[in-house]
């Protein structure tokens, strides 16, 4: 089993933080447009985030791990009921998404803090 390096852990936590920020940004944008006629709810999906991360992976065949256009960009959410003005933003759904993204950010930040605490402990030789 390959060893996991500190750089890989920090990179993964950084990606997690970035993903949480992207989700918070999209949810905040949706909430800001709650009363905008014709506004369509946007979202960031796990598949898009994964495709974005895998975009730099070396491919042996063009059809392997094919990334979709606009990787990592928010996309329209389908299947939501629209109001008469064409807007389909749902307040409860967006507040829940904002709360979940905040929790994801907090968990990644806690892990990152613990990692830096270990580094500080090692630098200070256990003092």
Dump pLDDT digits (tens) for 68-80.
Answer: 444 467 898 989 9
Dump pLDDT digits (tens) for 104-115.
Answer: 999 999 999 999
- Alpha helix segments (H runs only) across the chain: 6-32, 46-54, 91-123
Dump pLDDT digits (tens) for 48-94.
Answer: 555 555 555 555 655 554 544 444 678 989 899 999 999 999 999 99
Residue 7: predicted pLDDT: 87
Q: Is the CB of residue 20 less than 8 Å from the CB of residue 105?
A: yes
Distance, in Å, from the CA atom of 116 to the CA atom of 110, rounded to the nearest integer, reads 10
Task: Identify the DSSP state of 73.
Answer: S
- How many other C-beta atoms lie within 10 A of the C-beta of residue 104? 17
In 3D, which of 75, 81, 104 has the Cα closest to residue 93? 81
The three-state secondary structure class of 75 is strand
Residue 59: predicted pLDDT: 54
99, 104, 109, 114: CA torsion to nearest 10 = 130
């Amino acid at each position: 089993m390959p060893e996991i390096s500190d750089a890989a852990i920090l990179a993964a936590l950084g990606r997690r933080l970035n993903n949480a920020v992207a989700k918070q940004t999209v949810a905040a944008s949706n909430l800001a447009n709650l009363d905008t006629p014709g506004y369509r709810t946007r979202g960031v999906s796990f598949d898009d985030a994964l495709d974005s991360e895998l975009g730099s992976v070396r491919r042996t065949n063009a059809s392997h791990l094919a990334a979709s256009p606009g990787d990592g960009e928010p996309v329209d959410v389908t299947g939501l009921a629209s109001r008469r003005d064409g807007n389909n933003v749902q307040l409860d759904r967006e507040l829940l998404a904002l709360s979940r993204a905040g929790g994801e950010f907090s968990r990644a930040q806690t892990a990152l803090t613990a990692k830096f605490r270990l580094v500080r402990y090692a630098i200070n030789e256990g003092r």
